[in-house]
Amino acid sequence: MNILVAGGAGYIGSHTVVELLSRGEQVVIVDNLSNSREHVIDRIERITGKRPGFVKADVRDTGKMNEVFAQYKFDAVIHLAGLKVVGESVEKPIVYYRNNLESTWVLVDLMSKYKVPSIIFSSSATVYGETDQVPINENAEYHCTNPYGNTKMINEIFLKDVVTACPDISAICLRYFNPIGAHESGQIGEDPLDIPNNLMPYITQVAIGKLERLSIFGDDYPTHDGTGVRDYIHVVDLAKGHLAALDYAEQNPDLGFLAVNLGTGKGYSVLDLVHTFSEVCGKSIPYQITARRPGDVATSYADPSKAKELFGWEAEFDLKRMCEDSWRWQKCCDKFI
């Protein structure tokens, strides 16, 4: 297959491209490098022995994207090009809506023009927002609590409307839970350009000595140790989920619209993660308990059975392996440039 990976230089995208190339697919990445670096393309080549096509462009640049679609006959689009920082989305809703919505409009418009049959879209468990029902299955209602989540929800609704009007296009929205970990080579991983907002990159930067101590946001949640519980999933498992979704879309051209969770189905607390990481890296992780972070839920983990039933996909890597790979990446990330 010939696949366009929008946002393919980023964290999840680069791992997805590695899996695609390793399986023998052709890949063209379009990325504006707003949150990634060009050396990722070299690293992907070093890991797989194959160089993906790379176009540095904004997915919203209709003229440029028209050229890209005209040049390559794509069989599918994987759309990961989005801004993803919840707090920033509250401060800059216009930037987030423009980036995260216009990118999908442009891609779908060109898919229709060039008869590309399927799109796999990066959605998020964030669309479930506050819910007491765990594990969370795909029938749970939308309860977004911030502009970032709203952009994911609106994209899903938009794609539903598109496939209804254009039966030749199908859309699978993958609702990721909490991706962590990195490729086992230590060459690609999450590379926050700023102070990390998410738990795992914060922990790894404390372990390496870049940050002094972790703040744990609340220890009075109704969970086994009082700290928040999440469904952490290895990014390589997540990447493989995209290939499984692509195969399903190819075999089921009439699927229309699907929303599918990608998670492990297991919940771990902040302290579970801190302790497992600490064992793996052989250092203690200094932390302090601070106030709850506004908008955080106590517990969130997936019911991943739909992905297993439809795609035959399930996550394989455990929490220890996620920590080992995150730690290797943290130690290696600046060495390969």
Name the residues annotated as catalytic: 148
3, 47, 81, 322: residue in contact with ligand NAD (rule CB under 6 A): 81
Closest approach of Cβ 284 to ligand NAD, in Å? 26
- Phi and psi of 121, rounded to 5°? -110, 135
Q: Write out the two tokens for 308.
A: 């297993």
Tell whether omega for the bond before 135 is within 30 degrees of 0, i.e. cis.
Answer: yes
User: Does 66 help bind ligand WQD (rule: CB under 6 A)?
Assistant: no
48, 124, 204, 330: residue in contact with ligand NAD (rule CB under 6 A): 124
**If you compute the radius of gyration of the chain from its CA atoms, what whole number of angstroms results?**
19
Closest approach of Cβ 125 to ligand WQD, in Å? 7
According to CB under 6 A, which residues from 23 to 52 bind ligand WQD?
none
Burial annotation 206-228 (CB, 10 A radius, 16+ → b, else e) = bbeeebeebebbbbebebeebbb
Nearer to ligand WQD, 62 or 198 (CB): 198
Helix ranges (H only) for the chain are 11-22, 39-48, 62-71, 86-91, 93-114, 147-165, 199-207, 235-251, 270-281, 305-311, 319-332
User: Does 88 help bind ligand WQD (rule: CB under 6 A)?
Assistant: no
Pairing of strands 53-56, 76-79: unpaired
Which of ligand WQD, ligand NAD, none binds 216 (CB below 5-8 Å, type-dependent)? ligand WQD
CA distance 179 to 237: 9
Q: Which stretch binds ligand WQD (CB under 6 A): 57-65, 133-141, 192-200, 327-335?
A: 192-200
- C-alpha distances out from residue 115 to 70, 121, 133, 227, 256, Å: 11, 17, 40, 48, 15
Q: Which stretch binds ligand WQD (CB under 6 A): 38-46, 57-65, 197-205, 329-337?
A: 197-205
Which of ligand WQD, ligand NAD, none binds 164 (CB below 5-8 Å, type-dependent)? none
Nearest Cα to 119, choosing from 133, 103, 95?
Answer: 103
Q: Which stretch binds ligand NAD (CB under 6 A): 69-77, 81-89, 221-229, 314-322?
A: 81-89
User: Does 145 help bind ligand WQD (rule: CB under 6 A)?
Assistant: no
Residue nearest to ligand NAD (CB): 10
Give contact residues for ligand WQD (rule: CB under 6 A): 84, 86, 124, 126, 178, 197-199, 202, 214-217, 228, 230, 270, 293, 296
